[in-house]
Structure 1
């Protein structure tokens, strides 16, 4: 009987899936500890849920693009292994929930049949590269960023430089200076520019959200397109070597840049140039050019009965493309959740009558692109059958929310429940805001900002509040964030904390005051004119916890009294401090380095050898009770603790030995010599470790 693994055409993916099976078996049999296994599965898109014994699977979809075939494959996987619900994330991934760990290799194998990956969707890796959902059709874009986002995605996928960093690393590509992909809050954010006829990017560096949001700094006003991969690789290499690894809350790139300073960080990036495999990298664009794909079938002519509703939909949800005669259709997907029955019909629709492509958006919606204007009536009719013509795409009524306490371990209060209620309030009480795109509402269930609450005009963060006897679910109200464009943005102020049940009233207070006092100003100008204290004062009555009712102790979307239950977060991976595991891993790295060498991948081999050096050194330092916060710190400390004390004899300092990586070009000769030195070093530390244990 043919194994599901045998159906995978790509031998690299087949090997990865077999490896995942082996790791699961080893974990089940106690051969791999829970902490190490968690890191392994996270890097393969497998994330623990709030509910014990099941996993969330994150499907990595670069810049949110899927074909009909890929969407159908995802629906089949969701029906077979999960519940049939698909969740669009704010990073343009698809998540499915309640999956058995033991079935994940088979699930991955099924996805791989249509070139869909789970690889590096979670964990301390380069996460999904996001991009403006209108890239390629945006009337404001200087050129299509899609091939460049795709090229960088392909280059970094499985790349040794970004497999086990101190924390996650996020990259975005905006289609224009409007910066709809939010470059200012990414580790690397790209904005397209044309200078003297040459294509390139403005690059923003070191942004981030979370509990301490940080605005990205300018890396360069203009980097030619053939330099973006060397630039990104240099930044990632420095982050991997110097980034914090022990203190999780300080392990993002933004903290490293703050500690080193921008100039010193960029000096270190410049130092890496000699080590890079490419000093110039031409990205293939031909596959993304050419005429728009014609529909397979003739689009039927239809008659619209409710012309007024059709015209309202066109005004709200249809976007003109830069290609004359074509439009894009925005589908508002409440909370990013939709089901496989509708997804299958949608897949057939875009394949038979469209250009066989849709994109998931950063606001958890769907965009169908390259539809001829004369075919809009037919698409309206067909989408209406799926209940996919709700008005308000990308408006204030299009609330963004993370899963919160529904499934996430870190959730403190419900995000989806309050989001549903706020959308209801907006639809029923504030119809005058139906087309308002100047105010966004975003909600996160905790401080980690997966719902991007702290960069929106109106944001809510899940919290808890103590009434004296009981704990009630609460919301932090944040105001004044937003996108300013061209790499600039602003973060929201934390105004006041209120019981969750009063969230709708807080929205009413804010909108009523905005209507009464804005005098035609934008929301951000109105907020700045009034000042944070003004909003605190008129929201203050909602914060009173002396008059809570029974209802206040039941969170939105729940039937039972609130219980604050926060588990171990996995969204940023874990720190592994086990000596035996690290030695085993160091040996693994040297094995992989040898394989890369045989395949002619000199740079990959060299970086894997480097990782072997560092993991081996870290293992011995941990056995001595030493701190191992960064790769650079490990390298320095190993000399101090072992080499300078003659506990371990090397032909040079450990620092000189390891840092050959950025002193020599990545040639075959160096790769061979470096791995031989790595093997010799590993034998040395293994012998030391054996003697140390024997004398213990």
Structure 2
């Protein structure tokens, strides 16, 4: 965990006092709604459909048990007993009272937390791999780099009022688990001639115009990272659209300029500032790394007998959980464990105050007091001894956290949708729950295999539907809720994808294709069922994934089965039996 220094602590405390004064002035009628909007957004406060929503920052998805207990306390005292983990590894509270938000922020500051830059046209929470620091395939630990970016970007005066919000993701491993291809800037760690650095993709994003990021520079050495980011953002800040919010994201600028022209302008700007004060030194890196506390692993863990094979053989339910919810660790004798927040009937990403308290206790007992939040809206215990996995599984079952569905269809990513968000065209949570109920059969889920299903309530794509193997988008049709379906998207690829320096394949990401006209809400589970049946019929083997079949055969066979149309092959010719 990163531990605040006195400057960090003073910054968040002074920000609380500042916002308390601003809120009191607004409630007293001394600030207009327009004046207050900018101020509240700078502190993560939105006005949603029914109530304010407060988005709490969880930098790079890393949580201490004491911080999770504070989130549980806030859920109990100021909200309705639960919180929601978002796809940007943050937590959202959907029912706080406006006048109590400064008190919430004050409580957060006591455990080194805040809500700064979780909204507004600024650099948002930098995200990374939820296995950062413990993944077996890491080139470098991205946590330190994320913290360096956080300190550089927080309240940066040049980038406090960008043309639009700005999102950065960092992947430190061979396999991209941070979805670098669909961020405004995606950084992929690589090593060149013994020097750690980053490939830089710029202009990725979803929303109204989904685009995969373009490779702007194949290598930036670690000591040049901040100056290069500054140059990239400076070009955007100077030339990004401010007259049309739908064309204000950096992806539009890169597309309009062309990646080549944008890259040249960045290089010209970088040449001016490259050797400036933001050039990193080894002592800078050491200082930040020194503010982290790192787990002290048990010396005997590697040599201890691993009982999981025998336990799995004796209990098929444990075997399923072990297969889907545990992950390799860089230290022998340890594993990382995903606690699924996707039990059937529960809104994806929601967690109650009681669950949070219990998970904090489990983190202390099993994982050195640390947790991670994934962009798939689950929680991870990163450092669990393998000989304690069965005991942990027994402990989380009564908490509803042991569903063995990580990577499977019911591990649905979904935004809050029309139940909360004023921007949404349609609800997301009831659709997710209906699909979970339809596929609430573990034998069937395991037969289907790996499948990402993502749901967004509107074109802003907070549920990342564009990169779901199956994506579902809520649309408005004559005042009614309808749902558009895409297939073939992917948020990232594997290690092989990252060895291909191709600006159209950042991390192996891909945007899904629309299969046809939208569907009424009650039809959606049936549509998903038809897509699955088509996949099972067409796959070459039990290990060929849904998304790989779509890539191989195209969308037409799926479209034909869903809409009962004559099937065509990839060339558009009628398919013959």
Match of 2:553 in 1: 530
Q: Look up the match of 1:417.
A: 430
State the shift of 1:294 in Å. 6.1
> Which residue does the alignment assign to 1:390?
403
2:407–2:451 contact (8 Å) kept in structure 1: no
Tell me which of 469, 475, 492 is aligned to 2:483. 475
Tell me, yes or no, if structure 1 residue 68 matches structure 2 residue 65. yes
Distance 1:477 1:9, change over 3 A: closer
Secondary structure of the 1:99 match is coil
Quick check: 1:309 aligned with 2:317?
Answer: yes
Secondary structure in 2 aligned to 1:434?
helix
Unaligned 5+ segments in structure 2 are 1-6, 300-306, 343-347, 499-505, 566-577
User: Residues 576-610 of structure 1, C-alpha deviation per residue, up to 9 Å, x if partnerless?
Assistant: xxxxxxxxxxxxxxxxxxxxxxxxxxxxxxxxxxx
Alpha-carbon displacement from aligned partner over 1:343-398 (angstroms, at most 9, x marks no partner): 11111221133211110101001110111111112211211231211111232221
How much does 1:321 deviate?
0.5
Q: Distance in 1 between matches of 2:486 and 2:476?
A: 16
Q: Count residues with an aligned counterpart.
A: 524
1:151 maps onto 2:142 in alignment: no
Q: Structure 1 387/31 Cα, relative in aligned 2: closer, same or farther at 3 Å? A: same
Q: SS at the partner of 2:440?
A: helix
CA contact (8 A) 1:146 1:288 kept: no
Q: In the alignment, what sits opposite 1:37?
A: 36
Matches of 2:320 and 2:410, distance apart in 1: 15
Q: Which residue pairs with 1:98 in the alignment?
A: 95
CA distance in 1: counterparts of 2:32 and 2:241, whole angstroms: 23
Tell whether 2:435 aligns with 1:427: no
Partner of 2:461: 449
2:8, 2:463 → 1: CA distance?
A: 37
Residue 115 of structure 1: aligned partner: 112
Post-superposition shift, 1:288? 4.7
What is the aligned partner in structure 1 of residue 570 from structure 2?
none
Shift of 1:107: 0.8
TM-score scaled to structure 2, two decimals? 0.86
- Residues 47, 291 of structure 1: CA spacing in aligned structure 2 closer, same or farther, 3 A cutoff? closer
Structure richer in helix, relative to its length: 1
Q: 1:516 to 1:184 in 2, by over 3 A?
A: same
What is aligned with 1:262? 259
Contact 2:45 2:52 survives alignment (8 Å): yes
Which residue does 1:226 correspond to in 2? 223
- Mapped to 1, the partners of 2:137 and 2:454 lie a distance apart of 25
- Following the alignment from structure 1 to structure 2, what is the Cα–Cα distance between the partners of residues 221 and 438? 31
SS in 1 for 2:95: strand
Q: Corresponding residue for 1:506?
A: 527
In structure 1, C-alpha distance between the alignment counterparts of 2:194 and 2:291, rounded to whole Å: 22
**1:11: how far off?**
3.1
The aligned residue for residue 489 of structure 1 is: 509
Q: d(CA) in 2 for partners of 1:502 and 1:58? A: 33
TM-score, length basis structure 1: 0.72
Alignment RMSD, CA only? 2.5
Whole-Å separation in 2 of the counterparts to 1:525 and 1:383 = 33
Distance 2:295 2:368 in 1: 10
**In 2: Cα distance, 1:20 partner to 1:151 partner:** 25
**Per-residue deviation, residues 90-109 of structure 1 (Å, max 9, x unmatched):** 11001111111111111101
Q: What residue number does 1:540 align with?
A: 563
Q: Secondary structure at the match of 1:120?
A: coil
Q: Secondary structure at the match of 1:108?
A: helix
Q: Secondary structure at the match of 1:47?
A: strand
SS at match of 2:133: coil
Closer/same/farther in 2, CA of residues 539 and 311 from structure 1, 3 Å limit:
closer
For residue 135 of structure 1, report the CA deviation from its aligned partner: 1.2
Q: Any stretches of 5+ residues in structure 1 without a counterpart?
A: 1-7, 296-300, 543-696
Alignment equivalent of 2:452, drawn from 405, 427, 440 = 440
Q: Could you report, residue by residue, the CA deviation over 1:264-309 in whole angstroms, capped at 9, with x for unpaired residues?
A: 32343334443553233542334558653569xxxxx999897332
Query: What is the rounded CA distance, in whole Å, between the counterparts of 1:500 and 1:280 in structure 2?
Result: 52
Report what 2:3 is aligned to.
none
The alignment partner of 1:98 has SS state of coil
Larger radius of gyration: 1
Specify the SS of the correspondent of 1:371: strand
Offset of 1:510 from its aligned partner? 0.7
1:324 aligns with 2:332: yes
- The corresponding residue for 1:350 is 363
Q: CA deviation at 1:173?
A: 1.2
1:339 matched to 2:352: yes
